[in-house]
Structure 1
Amino acid sequence: MHEMMKAIATAALLLATAMPALAAPAPVYDERPAKLADATGVRDYERRAVEIPMRDGVKLHTVILIPKGAKGAAMLLTRTPYSADELTGHGSSAHMGIAIDGYDSAPDVVAAGGYIRVIQDVRGKYGSKGGYVMNRPFVGTSLNPTKVDHSTDTWDTIDWLVKNVPESNGRVGILGISYDGFTSLAALVNPHPALKVAVPMNPMVDGWRGDDWFHNGAFREYNLTYIWEQVATHDNASHYELPEADAYTHYMRYGSVGALASAHGLDQIGFWQKIKAHPAYDSFWQEQAMDRILAKAPLKVPTMLVHSLWDQEDIYGVPAVWKAMKPADKDGMLFLTMGPWFHGQEIERADSLGPVHWDSDTGKWWRRNVLAPFLAHYLYDKPMDVATVTAFQSGENRWQKLSGWPEKASSAKLYLHADQSLGFAPSDKEAALDYVSDPANPVSFMPRPNKQVGYEGNPWPTWLTSDQRPVSGRPDVLAFTGPVLDKPVAVGGDPVVHLTASTSGTDSDWVVKLIDVYPDEVPMDQAMGGYELPVTMDIFRGRYRESLSQPKALTPNVPLKYTFALPPVNHVFLPGHRIMVQVQSSWFPLYDRNPQTFVPSIFEAKPADYVKANQKVSVGGTEGSYIDLPLVSAPPAE
């Protein structure tokens, strides 16, 4: 027993002496610091990341960039679903103007104005907590059961900023593009007293009438990828997978857009379920249309609405808000800019749009002469000389300072003639020009291959200015061309389509385009010889002819009247040019195909529902088709 105890003690001693060697930590072989400290000493600004509490306790991630030495500086706020951290971390420069050189920021204006830049993730996105709802409807509507929305979140954010950023002068401006333009508009509903100016640029306003999701009832298929990536995860980490490089092939393969969405997992996305449930312009869309909401909210904040005349995403919004709010603007606080840009191009280099050149950098001119003085006036009390309306007139390629929009327009009917010509006088010859619309061979909005969004060389930003010659010769496109002009024709306002047409089907889409046809040769610009430049164009889904909210089957083979406005224009058709109007019945794959058989929901159309239809456009006589053009005074000849 003694020997056993001795052996145990000896073993314990050996184990104890061996323990330190066994427990010794492995040598560190990592050259990275345990916690990285930014080299802030070389920066010309200070970066603060804060979590601002909202009234319901949810905290929103907010990045504040403050110029070094700032005192009494105004704050410029943007509320975004696109990552505040990414939008404030561009490049490797220590200069604030470079750090924010990205989407929405207009860094030249921010840097020159000495502004404190604030960018916040909206609730449910990236660093912010809470649930995410696409274009969250407002409190008090049947669509929002909570007590918070973008208006309340903006109010709470501004209230925190003016109390916790001592370098500021207590004044805040809000600006943003697209979704961030929508949140800028939302700030105008019950605005915080410290909100002194707003610049909503290309905002999402009405997703059914003509912004992101539908145009007059036709669904914009290209946005399926956006819906997935924006809603599926809080940080857009999951991508919509594209097995085909050609979007035309992708959207044709599945038949209806509902079948395609199901195949790609969108049925689990709440917003997609809402779209499927509301294909018509019912209360779901009407209650959240920002122009309707703002028409009921007295304007308390000086606001400049910024519109791109070739906005490929949100071309409906700004003109609709302007029309809704300007009549009640007794204090002259509502301003408008209309520039020759694609979506958001106003904060980029903008001397051209696709192949069309404007003779100067229109974006820089606008930022320097309009945006900068407008913000400085209301945030720093500096003088400004900014007109109520600043509009670029394409064709003449000049900026105009106007007192209103449209200004002094007169109506002129541009008639479609039986010989496929155009004229400002009606033709006595009545005719019905026909073509066959085949859903199996729809008219493409761009020449194939239709590159998917995100692919190299994607033409999405500039497609609205794409040459229309590739479709002019198709047998399912009617092209009406006017004579060579011997004097300028200036158009400013909303052209209104008055189309009389029949279909052998029970539903139909109608696409109408107003086009500037360039001379066969253009000096010093060979690429524009004979170019067919779209000035404005849009689509209308026939089932909504009588009511946007109550779809109805069309009576086959009976001429019916369709009336709808095209997006606004401010353009001069120059001498030597010609005016063209095109009519067709598909615009694929940008918009989903109409089966041309009336079904309750086109999202659920079956293969057998897609049929050829004989389309007839009535021209000549009292019932002939025409476009009502808003003519304005042409500039004097130089």
Structure 2
Amino acid sequence: MTLAEQSELVYAEQLLIPAVDGTPLSASLTRPGGAGPFPTVLTRTPYDRTNQAATAEEWARAGYAFVRQDVRGRFDSEGAFYPFRDDPTDGVSTIAWLAEQPWCNGSVVMTGASHVGTVQYLVAPRQPAALAAAMPEFAPASVYHYWWRHGGAFRLSFNVAWAILLARDNLRHYPDRLARLQEQQAQVWVTPEEMRRLEIKPFFRAWSPEQHAESPGDVFGTGWFADFMRERSFGPFWEAYDFRPQHQDFRVPMLHVGGWHDTFAQGTIDSFTGLSTAGHADQRLIMGPWRHVNWGQRDVGDLDFGDELLTVDPFQTRRAWFDRWLRDGPADGPPVLIFVMGQNAWREEETWPPPAAGEDAWYLHADGRLAREAPSGDREPCTYDYDPRNPVVTLGGPEWVNYPCGPFDHAPLEGRRDILTFESAPLEEDIEVTGRVSVRLFASSSAVDTDFTAKLLDVHTDGRAFNLCDGIIRARYRDSLSHPAPLTPGEPVELDIDLWSTSNLFRQGHRIRIDISSSNFPRFDVNPNTGDDSTGGPDTPREYVVARNTVYCDQDRPSHVKLPVVRRPLGR
């Protein structure tokens, strides 16, 4: 394009694109001047397409037509909003319509993050003929496993705040109801200072599924929030939103982008690995240290990850990916690009997990040590009381935009009796952990159901301890997320806690630390220990039971963390 063509952009602010059932879906177009036709970038959003005007112009000046569309039932698009339900067919209809426009050259690509990335995973198995490539960012591979729940526990803070945000937009024409909702929104947005003071806002403390379903959850007219809350176990309802079994039907090159501290971190990785395993060689993965959608920033939580992080530019990476498939751009390098925290450097890999990553067991010892050697003989177990009315407060981690995300110093939580801390000796050499982390816990409880949480931390030489990844298991889901089974009080069981993936270089002199507890609130709802988790917050007027929870660290029941330690030949 000439400079004149770059400056003379063409705008169409109200395109009405018919869905397959005739519902008009509203979209805006920004394209280069001139006759075209042009390759077209599509983004489908529930967050108001008008917010993307600057992005649209950037794409148009790069020679692409850019179409931003409100998904069904949101803002100017008609119909009823029900997350993810209509996106497969609406996406296919939209892509087909775009390919037929005189300003489109017949090739459409998709981009966007979070929900806007998820809709790409929903449309891809339908194999729309004009879809040439996609770039989902910070998006999950399954709504149940990576978005709504984790290990059977409800992801409270994120999902309640998300529903309130969506409901606020739906009530923009109803000032009285909107004002009440905005008061609730202020209660679910937490500042770093509030978090460091371990404050739990009253809304979270008093929250329950029933209360929420009757307020912001009912403004959509579809009952989707109540449906999502009712389906606590994985089953037929959630299968339509689990993209992993559909990977064999994908036929589109995808670049998956995520962050180690993102709320969907493992979902991004599992999309890449699932599609690669299914035989799709045209998949790429980028994982930075980012929290949710803060690609392009070097500060995450309490840490600054340095200038090298910024060498991977968001827009230029997107453009290069689409140029690769639509304009015969240069071929890609290795399929995996990861940022190793601690070293604060990018590294290319041929596969995920890296072939040099093994699986080392580090054992939990009754005296609080974390060590490679397994415990010997009988040892007294570690026991603590978990009171749902006094949960451990969430301190950073892979949260959403309403809660401080990323690595934070965990000093405010030290001294709690319901957190078991296991810490290595100062490391004699650097140790890199890159891959999926899990904890095998041998445990029992006095209750018929309870939660166990695990968190991996990097303890610096000055004593500050920063979280890397964490997980939870609701004990009744220990064997199956589809078929819960109660505990027998006092009977030891094996529990696997998935902490998702990370990449971190533990420097010489640092310590590796594992924290075990039974709550992480409001990241997850509290477990009342009764076998009925229809509650949500510690002040909900329901029955609560204090659970005496026990972790075993002996020869016959060696609780341990599995660390993917990278070993490379000397000189690499």
What's the TM-score once normalised by structure 2's chain length?
Answer: 0.88
Equivalent of 1:619 in 545, 553, 556: 553
Taking only the aligned residue pairs, the percentage that are identical comes to 29
List runs of 5+ in structure 2 lacking aligned partners.
189-193
Shift of 1:486: 1.5
> Take 2:169 and 2:20, find their aligned partners in 1: how far apart are those partners?
24
> Take 1:584 and 1:453, find their aligned partners in 2: how far apart are those partners?
22
> Take 2:39 and 2:465, find their aligned partners in 1: how far apart are those partners?
46
- Cα distance 1:116–1:252, how it changes in 2: closer, same or farther (>3 A)? closer
Question: 1:301 corresponds to which residue?
Answer: 252
> Take 1:603 and 1:365, find their aligned partners in 2: how far apart are those partners?
40
Shift of 1:602: 4.4
- Cα distance 1:60–1:394, how it changes in 2: closer, same or farther (>3 A)? same
Shift of 1:394: 1.2
> Take 1:401 and 1:122, find their aligned partners in 2: how far apart are those partners?
36
- Asked if residue 152 in structure 1 is aligned to residue 89 in structure 2, the reply is yes
SS where residue 473 of structure 2 aligns?
strand
- Asked if residue 45 in structure 1 is aligned to residue 9 in structure 2, the reply is yes
> Take 1:173 and 1:329, find their aligned partners in 2: how far apart are those partners?
21
SS where residue 125 of structure 2 aligns?
coil
- Asked if residue 576 in structure 1 is aligned to residue 528 in structure 2, the reply is no
> Take 1:202 and 1:71, find their aligned partners in 2: how far apart are those partners?
32
Shift of 1:125: 0.9
Question: 2:129 corresponds to which residue?
Answer: 193
SS where residue 567 of structure 1 aligns?
strand
* Count of paired positions: 544
> Take 2:91 and 2:344, find their aligned partners in 1: how far apart are those partners?
38
Q: Is the 8 A contact 1:113 1:376 kept in 2?
A: no
> Take 1:135 and 1:442, find their aligned partners in 2: how far apart are those partners?
33
SS where residue 321 of structure 2 aligns?
helix
Shift of 1:361: 5.4
- Asked if residue 86 in structure 1 is aligned to residue 51 in structure 2, the reply is yes
- Within 5 Å, give how 1:29-428 maps onto structure 2: 44-49=8-13, 50-69=15-34, 71-88=36-53, 99-100=54-55, 110=59, 113-136=62-85, 149-166=86-103, 168-211=104-147, 213-222=148-157, 223-231=159-167, 234=170, 238=178, 239=181, 241-242=183-184, 248-251=200-203, 253-254=205-206, 257-261=208-212, 264=215, 266=217, 270-292=223-245, 294-297=246-249, 299-311=250-262, 313-330=263-280, 332-346=281-295, 349-360=296-307, 362-367=309-314, 370-408=317-355, 409-428=357-376
Shift of 1:480: 0.7
Q: Is the 8 A contact 2:526 2:537 kept in 1?
A: no
Shift of 1:236: 5.8
Shift of 1:112: 6.2
Shift of 1:580: 0.4
> Take 1:150 and 1:244, find their aligned partners in 2: how far apart are those partners?
31
Shift of 1:470: 1.5
- Cα distance 1:531–1:179, how it changes in 2: closer, same or farther (>3 A)? same
- Cα distance 1:588–1:577, how it changes in 2: closer, same or farther (>3 A)? same
Deviates more, 1:358-367 or 1:182-191: 358-367
- Deviation per residue, 1:493-535 (Å, 9 max, x gap): 1112101111111111111001111111xxxxxxxxx321111
Equivalent of 1:554 in 462, 487, 490: 487
> Take 1:509 and 1:55, find their aligned partners in 2: how far apart are those partners?
45
Deviates more, 1:411-420 or 1:187-196: 187-196
- Cα distance 1:367–1:636, how it changes in 2: closer, same or farther (>3 A)? farther
What's the TM-score once normalised by structure 1's chain length?
Answer: 0.79
Q: Is the 8 A contact 1:370 1:386 kept in 2?
A: no
2:329 is matched by which residue type in structure 1?
Answer: K
> Take 1:304 and 1:607, find their aligned partners in 2: how far apart are those partners?
47
> Take 1:111 and 1:474, find their aligned partners in 2: how far apart are those partners?
55
> Take 2:320 and 2:226, find their aligned partners in 1: how far apart are those partners?
44
Q: Is the 8 A contact 2:471 2:497 kept in 1?
A: no
Structure having greater relative contact order (Cα 8 Å, sep ≥ 6): 2
Shift of 1:544: 0.6
> Take 2:7 and 2:321, find their aligned partners in 1: how far apart are those partners?
28
- Cα distance 1:406–1:509, how it changes in 2: closer, same or farther (>3 A)? same
Shift of 1:559: 1.6
Larger radius of gyration: 1
> Take 1:177 and 1:506, find their aligned partners in 2: how far apart are those partners?
40
SS where residue 265 of structure 2 aligns?
coil
SS where residue 127 of structure 2 aligns?
coil
- Deviation per residue, 1:436-456 (Å, 9 max, x gap): 111121110039xxxx998xx
Query: Superposition RMSD on alpha carbons, in Å?
Result: 2.9
2:364 is matched by which residue type in structure 1?
Answer: L
SS where residue 12 of structure 2 aligns?
strand
1:197 is matched by which residue type in structure 2?
Answer: A
SS where residue 619 of structure 1 aligns?
coil
Question: 2:191 corresponds to which residue?
Answer: none
Q: Is the 8 A contact 2:213 2:225 kept in 1?
A: no
List runs of 5+ in structure 1 lacking aligned partners.
1-40, 89-98, 137-148, 521-529
Q: Is the 8 A contact 1:596 1:609 kept in 2?
A: no
- Deviation per residue, 1:187-233 (Å, 9 max, x gap): 3122222211100111143232222x221211122222322442576
- Asked if residue 533 in structure 1 is aligned to residue 498 in structure 2, the reply is no
> Take 2:273 and 2:445, find their aligned partners in 1: how far apart are those partners?
34
> Take 2:284 and 2:139, find their aligned partners in 1: how far apart are those partners?
15
- Cα distance 1:369–1:634, how it changes in 2: closer, same or farther (>3 A)? farther
